[in-house]
Amino acid sequence: MATKPHAWSQEERIAALRRCALFAPWPAARLADLAAIARPEFYPRGTEIYAHDPEKREAFVIASGEVEVSRGSAAGKKFVLGINGPPEILAIVRLLAAPPIHYDYRAYADSLLLHLPTDALAAILDAEPILWRDVALLMCARHGDSLRLLDAQNLGSLDQRMAATLADLARIHGIAGAGGIELGLRLPQEQLGAMLGVTRQSVNKLLRSFEAAGLIAVDYNRITIRDPAALDTIAARP
Best CA proximity match to 62, nearest among 76, 45, 42, 32 = 42
**Does residue 183 carry a pLDDT above 80?**
yes
Long-range contacts of 151-154 (CB under 8 A, 24+ apart): 153/197
Amino acid at residue number 177: G
Which of 142-156, 162-176, 200-214 has maximum average pLDDT?
200-214
pTM: 0.78
9-34 pLDDT tens trace: 999 999 999 999 999 999 999 999 99
Cα separations in angstroms, 76 against 52, 79, 104, 125: 21, 10, 13, 39
More confident residue, 75 or 207: 207
Cα 198 to Cα 158: distance, rounded to the nearest angstrom: 9
Q: Residue 126: is it exposed, middle or buried by C-beta count within 10 angstroms (0-12/13-18/19+)?
A: exposed
Which neighbouring-strand residues pair with 104?
70
Q: Which residue has the higher pLDDT, 6 or 222?
A: 222
Q: Does residue 17 contact residue 31 with C-beta atoms inside 8 Å?
A: yes
Q: Are 90 and 104 in contact (CB under 8 A)?
A: no
Range scoring the smallest mean pLDDT among 90-99, 152-161, 213-222: 152-161
Min mean pLDDT across 66-75, 92-101, 110-119, 146-155 is at: 146-155
What percent of the chain is helix, strand and coil (3-state, nearest 5)?
45, 25, 35
Rg of the chain, C-alpha, whole Å = 19
Residue 65 pLDDT level (bands cut at 50, 70, 90): very high
Long-range contacts of 144-151 (CB under 8 A, 24+ apart): 149/81
Give residue 186's pLDDT. Answer: 79
